[in-house]
Amino acid sequence: MDNNINNHVSLWNLVYEKLKELLPGHAINTWFEPLVPITITDEELVIEVPNQFSYEWIDSHYQKNLVDAIGVVTENQISYRFIVSAKGQKKQKEESESYKKVEKVVEPAPNNLNKTYTFKSFIKGANNEFAKSAAQSVSESPGKNSFNPLIIYGGVGLGKTHLIHSIGNKIHEKNPRSKVVIVTSEKFTLDFVNSLRKNRTIEFAQQYRNADVLLIDDIQFFRGKEQTQEQFFHTFNVLQQAGKQIVMTTDKYPAEIKGLQERLLSRFQSGLSVDIQPPNLEIRIAILLEKAEQNGIRLDYNIIEFIAKHIKKNVRDLEGAIIRILAKSSLMNKEIDFQLVKEVIRERIGSSFSPELSIEDVVKKVSEISNVSEIEIVGKSRKMEVAEARQVSMYLCRKIIGTSLNNIGVFFGGRDHSTVIHAVKTIDEKIINKKHIKEQIESIKQELDFSLA
């Protein structure tokens, strides 16, 4: 082995470059870019992986490639060994201990706070900033401000439940003795019905009215349940008069909920109602990046952006998409590539998945890559660089999206179909003979593939 690669960093850099020759870019970015060389001995190169999942995936899918790359660089004089990063081990241990704790410690019902829902893990944006700020204010001084009750409203899967659990977790963290009661409206109703059936209405009332903080999820399900509403009205009054904090979520502005008693709606309007809107593209991307990191996977930014562009309204679906990608990759032993991601997105959003390309999309992308304007590409100019960009555009329209010869000709200034045939033949030849054309075509095809079904 050459002396100039005895340093583990230098050696790994050479191995990494060799891997880039052997593997596609997405595999390098996802699995090998996060690796860190730790040390080198006479026998092995020690490499740190971010988590156990990466360890197992690389070992089962890319072991031969890694062995070959190290073999070429070191002339087969050393092997390699993986270690999971201390951070990854700590996270795995904490998750394991947390799971065991949940198994062993049964908190008194109905205190079912989800410990993973915290303000820190809630991605803030213009769509939810006011709601998050109000929730944090309540958690800092429950019952001691005018935000009582606090009602968080918005569509399905936008983070309402996350916020009320965050409130409960923050209050419990600051004061473990504080009695935080969190239930869904269905659970409240079921508890009331069971108390009637078992003649234990007094115990039911005490269970809820002794709370320091009452968190009720999805109050819209109280609609039409007159006796339940009656009980909740009295519970609400007792807690509010005692200076206890009440937080509720619902799918729409309280005054718009039909089937609730007027006196309940009046109580609700005495506090603060804040809404959560669907996240914009940037927030959706941030949520996906955070969720991917939590699950120990690295996804190409283009894949993240593709998911965010197609799943627009529901944060829960965004998070679910990452989980399903990871599950499908593991269970079906498939690489996490763009094709797998497209399959998952199509499964999740069904008929609304319509990523067809147009001729305009192709011309725009060719224009970006070639630095020739779109107007010039579809125009009459015979300049060499313009003509080449035009031929590349025609080629891609024909080969990638299957546009008819006549339609391509019409779009590109009313040209005859024979002109299109000539363009396709010319680019086919240039791909073989001119490296820069081949690379340009591959680059454009890869980027356009992010819009193909």
Is there a contact between 38 and 71 (Cβ–Cβ < 8 Å)?
no
Among 290, 318, 352, the domain boundary falls at: 352
Return the CA Rg of the chain.
30
Residue 112 lies in a domain: no
Please indicate, yes or no, whether residues 267 and 340 belong to a single structural domain of this protein. Answer: no
Question: pLDDT 10s per residue in the chain (453 long)?
Answer: 555 455 888 888 899 999 888 887 767 877 888 888 888 887 888 899 888 777 878 887 888 888 888 888 888 778 888 888 776 555 545 444 443 443 333 343 335 788 888 898 888 888 888 999 999 999 998 888 778 899 999 888 888 999 999 999 999 888 888 899 998 888 888 888 888 888 888 888 888 888 899 999 998 888 888 888 888 999 999 998 899 999 999 988 888 888 888 888 888 888 899 998 888 888 888 888 888 877 777 777 778 888 887 777 777 788 778 888 888 877 777 777 777 888 888 777 665 444 556 788 889 888 988 889 999 999 888 899 999 999 999 998 888 777 888 889 888 988 888 899 999 999 999 988 888 888 888 878 766 655 544
Residue 117 lies in a domain: no
Please indicate, yes or no, whether residues 215 and 299 belong to a single structural domain of this protein. Answer: no
Please indicate, yes or no, whether residues 250 and 330 belong to a single structural domain of this protein. Answer: no
User: Which CATH number is 432's domain given?
Assistant: 1.10.1750.10
Please indicate, yes or no, whether residues 312 and 441 belong to a single structural domain of this protein. Answer: no
Is there a contact between 276 and 249 (Cβ–Cβ < 8 Å)?
no
Residue 99 lies in a domain: no
How far is 65 from 132, CA to CA, in rounded Å?
A: 47
Please indicate, yes or no, whether residues 144 and 259 belong to a single structural domain of this protein. Answer: yes
Please indicate, yes or no, whether residues 138 and 224 belong to a single structural domain of this protein. Answer: yes
Residue 106 lies in a domain: no
Angle between helices 315-331 and 301-310 (to 10 degrees): 130
pTM: 0.56
Among 63, 87, 111, the domain boundary falls at: 87
How far is 167 from 137, CA to CA, in rounded Å?
A: 9
Residue 308 lies in a domain: yes
Please indicate, yes or no, whether residues 148 and 257 belong to a single structural domain of this protein. Answer: yes
Please indicate, yes or no, whether residues 385 and 372 belong to a single structural domain of this protein. Answer: yes
How far is 391 from 397, CA to CA, in rounded Å?
A: 10
Please indicate, yes or no, whether residues 321 and 391 belong to a single structural domain of this protein. Answer: no
- How many domains does one find in the chain? 4
**Best CA proximity match to 292, nearest among 69, 59, 123, 101:** 123
Contacts made by residues 71-79, CB under 8 angstroms, sequence distance 24+: 72/18, 73/5, 73/11, 73/14, 73/15, 73/18, 74/1, 74/5, 74/11, 75/1, 77/1, 78/1, 78/40, 78/41, 78/42, 78/43, 78/44, 78/45, 79/43, 79/44, 79/45
Among 225, 256, 276, the domain boundary falls at: 276
User: Which CATH number is 42's domain given?
Assistant: 3.30.300.180
Give the pLDDT of residue 101. 43
User: Which CATH number is 178's domain given?
Assistant: 3.40.50.300
Residue 96 lies in a domain: no
Residue 40 lies in a domain: yes
Give the pLDDT of residue 165. 93
Give the pLDDT of residue 450. 54
Residue 123 lies in a domain: no
Please indicate, yes or no, whether residues 287 and 400 belong to a single structural domain of this protein. Answer: no
User: Which 3-state string (H, E, C) describes the chain?
Assistant: CCHHHCCHHHHHHHHHHHHHHHCCHHHHHHHHCCCEEEEECCCEEEEEECCHHHHHHHHHHCHHHHHHHHHHHHCCCCEEEEEECHHHHHHHHHHHHHHHHHHHCCCCCCECCCCCCCCCCCCCCCCCHHHHHHHHHHHHCCCCCCCCCEEEEECCCCCHHHHHHHHHHHHHHHCCCCCEEEEEHHHHHHHHHHHHHCCCHHHHHHHHHCCCEEEEECHHHHCCCHHHHHHHHHHHHHHHHCCCEEEEEECCCHHHCCCCCHHHHHHHCCCEEEEECCCCHHHHHHHHHHHHHHCCCCCCHHHHHHHHHHCCCCHHHHHHHHHHHHHHHHHCCCCCCHHHHHHHHHHHHHHHCCCCCCHHHHHHHHHHHHCCCHHHHCCCCCCHHHHHHHHHHHHHHHHCCCCCHHHHHHHCCCCCHHHHHHHHHHHHHHHHHCHHHHHHHHHHHHHHHHHCC
How far is 225 from 217, CA to CA, in rounded Å?
A: 16
Please indicate, yes or no, whether residues 150 and 218 belong to a single structural domain of this protein. Answer: yes
Q: In the numeric block, which tokens belong to residue 415?
A: 């040209």
Please indicate, yes or no, whether residues 241 and 134 belong to a single structural domain of this protein. Answer: yes
How far is 59 from 63, CA to CA, in rounded Å?
A: 5
- Please give the residue range of the domain that contains residue 69: 3-87
